[in-house]
Amino acid sequence: MGSDYPPRTGPRMGSEMLRNVKVTTAAVLAAMLAAFPLGKPAVAETTITWLDATRKFACAGTYGRVKRLSDGSLALVYSRGGDVCIRETASPEKDWGSETLVARTPGYSNTNAEMIEPEKGSLLFAWNGRPSAGGAYFIATIISTDGGRTWGREARAYTAGKESGTGCWEPAFLLGTGGGVQLYFANEAPFPGSNTEQEIGMVRSDDAGLTWNGYVTVSHRIGARDGMPVPVRLADGKGAAVAIEENGIEGPFKPAIIHGRDGEDWSSGPVTGGDLRRTAALAGASRLPASVYAGAPYLVQLPGGETVLSVQSTQGRSVSSDPVASAVMRVYVGDANAEGFAGESEPFPGIPAGGNGVWNSLAVVDDSTVMAVSSVRGMGKDGLWTVQGRVHRSPVPVFLATPATRNQNRRAHSVAVLWGASHLHGFGGAMVPNGSAWDLSGRWSPQAWETLPIPPVPAP
C-alpha cells in the first residue's frame, strides 16, 4: 500500500486477541448482514464492447469458425456450396487469404467445419457429411501437416443412419488431458423412428486423428434433443464444460452446460435431464422467456478465466414459423466454472427483420479480445462476417457499507468487516479483530468498512 497507510503496528490475530473477541458464528453472520444490506450492490460485471471499426465481411459461406494458431496467425474454417474450406490471415486486422478446399464428397453436402491444432503446425479438421441421396450421415476428419496448405486422407470418425431422423451432426474437438483427442457431436442414430430424441456422443483418437473408436454417450435427456455440443477444457483443473442446446429446459431450445471432471471420459454414464452436472446456462437475471428460441451455442474461455457463450436468439425479434430465419447472435460472459452468464451483448446489431445471423462461433484473439463470427443475411453481403470485441473487467460486486478509517477501527470490542475481491478467485469476507485489518496479504485486495459492535451472544 502507499504512504497514506501507516505501518503495520496492530496486534496480529493470536490466541490472546481471539480470547478478547469472542464471536460466535451467529454473531458473525448478524454483523455481516448489518454491514452489507441487501439491495445496495456496487454492481459490476465483465462485459464486451463490440468494435464497430472491426466489423467486416469475410467471405461467402456458413458455419464459420476462427482458430488462432501457434504461429500467431488465424484460420477461418467454413462450408460453402457443399464443400468445406479454409482461409488464413496473419492478423485480425488483415483480410483473409485465398480459399483452400479441404474436402469435397460426391453425393454429399459437407458442412459444420471445425478444427484444432493438436501439435505445432499440424491441423486436425472435422466436418459433417449430409447425404443428398442414398448415403449415410457421417462425421469425418482429415489432417494437414503443413499448416493447412495440403491435406491428407479422410478418416470416418462415425457413421450414422441413412434416413432423416437417424443422422449425426455438428462435430467439435477437445484435447484430452493425458493425450489423445475427443470428438463430440449430436447423434440421432440411437433413436430410429423417434424424430424427437437426440443425444451427445463422443469418440476418441489416440493417434492424433488417424483413427477413431470408443463411442460413449455424453448426455441424453429422455424425450428431448441435446444438440450442437461445444466442449471446453476449463483452466486450473476445473474440468470439462460442454455447451449444448436442448429443448427440455423451458419452451424451444435454450443453452445448457454439461459439466465433467478433469480428464472426463464419460464412461460412468450419460448426463441425464435431472443430473446435477447439467445446468441451464442462462438463469437468474439472464433467464429468457419460455417463448424465446436460443440455440446453437458456442463456448470459449479467455486466458483471464472468464468463459464466453454465444447463442442465436429470437429475443426482441419478430419470429416466423422458423425461429432460425429471424435469430441473431447474442453473447454472454460467465465465470471460470462456465456459470453465471450475464452481460448480454449483440455483435452484429442492425440486422433487419427479414435477415438473420446464425450458426455463430467465438474465437479468443488475446487476453482481452474475442472475435465473433456469424453467417449473416440482410446486411448487404450475405455470408460470413466477423467483429472483434473488447473485454472490460470490473471489480467483483460487493455490498456497500460506510467506509471506516484506521482510527475508527480502534474502538474497543469491535470488529472490522473486510471484503477482498480477486478477479479469478472470486469474492470472500472475514470478520477480523481491531488492529489486524492491515495484516492481510496474498491474493486479497482488502477494503475496510465501518467497524461494528459485537452483537450480544445469547447464553447457551
Strands (E), 302-443: 307-313, 328-334, 342-345, 356-366, 369-377, 383-392, 398-399, 414-422, 426-433
In contact, 422 and 445? CB cutoff 8 Å: yes
C-alpha–C-alpha distance, residues 342 and 46, integer Å: 8
Is residue 159 classed as helix, strand or coil in its secondary structure?
strand
Of 59-63, 86-90, 99-103, 400-404, least confident by mean pLDDT is 400-404
| pLDDT band for position 395 (cuts 50, 70, 90) | low
Residue 85 CB-half CA count within 13 A: 18
| pLDDT band for position 113 (cuts 50, 70, 90) | very high
pLDDT at 43: 38
pLDDT at 267: 87
DSSP tally for the chain: helices H, then strands E: 2, 31
Check pLDDT > 80 for residue 413. no
Nearest CA to 70 out of 100, 103, 115 is that of 115
C-alpha–C-alpha distance, residues 221 and 340, integer Å: 23
- Residue 101's DSSP bridge partners are 85
pLDDT at 459: 52
In contact, 376 and 355? CB cutoff 8 Å: yes
| DSSP code, position 258 | E
Q: How many CB atoms lie within 10 A of CB 287?
A: 13
Give mean pLDDT, residues 109-124: 95
Summarised one tens digit per residue, pLDDT across range 296-332 is: 999 999 999 999 999 999 999 999 889 999 999 999 9
C-alpha–C-alpha distance, residues 81 and 137, integer Å: 17
pLDDT at 366: 94
C-alpha–C-alpha distance, residues 157 and 139, integer Å: 5
Summarised one tens digit per residue, pLDDT across range 367-379 is: 999 999 999 999 9
pLDDT at 133: 84
Nearest CA to 128 out of 141, 143, 144 is that of 141
Of 182-186, 217-221, 392-396, least confident by mean pLDDT is 392-396
Q: Are strands 414-422 and 452-453 parallel, antiparallel or unpaired?
A: antiparallel
Check pLDDT > 60 for residue 218. yes
Of 1-15, 127-141, 263-277, 349-363, least confident by mean pLDDT is 1-15
Is the sign of the CA dihedral 117, 122, 128, 132 positive or negative? Answer: positive
pLDDT at 236: 94
Whole-model pTM: value is: 0.79
Q: Are strands 138-144 and 122-131 parallel, antiparallel or unpaired?
A: antiparallel
Give mean pLDDT, residues 96-111: 97
Give mean pLDDT, residues 170-189: 93
Give mean pLDDT, residues 67-92: 97
Q: For residue 240, what are the contacts with CB-CB under 8 A and spacing of at least 6?
A: 174, 231, 232, 233, 234, 259, 260, 261, 262, 264
Question: What are φ and ψ of residue 36, in 5° steps?
Answer: -125, 75
Instruction: Kindly list the structural domains of the chain, giving each domain's residue range(s) and its CATH number in brackets, ordered by start.
Output: 15-44+396-453 (no CATH), 47-392 (2.120.10.10)
Q: ∠ CA 321-324-329 to the nearest 5 degrees?
A: 140
Check pLDDT > 80 for residue 454. no
Residue 368, C-alpha cell as written in the block = 482481452
pLDDT at 419: 45
- Residue 228's DSSP bridge partners are none
Of 69-73, 113-117, 424-428, least confident by mean pLDDT is 424-428
Give mean pLDDT, residues 381-396: 90
Give mean pLDDT, residues 198-210: 96
In contact, 197 and 191? CB cutoff 8 Å: yes
Radius of gyration of the chain (CA): 26
Q: What share of the chain has pLDDT > 70, as a percent?
A: 76
pLDDT at 159: 98
In contact, 222 and 291? CB cutoff 8 Å: no
pLDDT at 176: 84
pLDDT at 46: 87
In contact, 320 and 314? CB cutoff 8 Å: no
Check pLDDT > 90 for residue 341. yes
Angstrom CA distances, 79 to 113, 205, 288, 343, stand at 6, 24, 31, 31
Return mean pLDDT, the chain.
82
Give the type of residue at 206: D
In contact, 444 and 422? CB cutoff 8 Å: yes
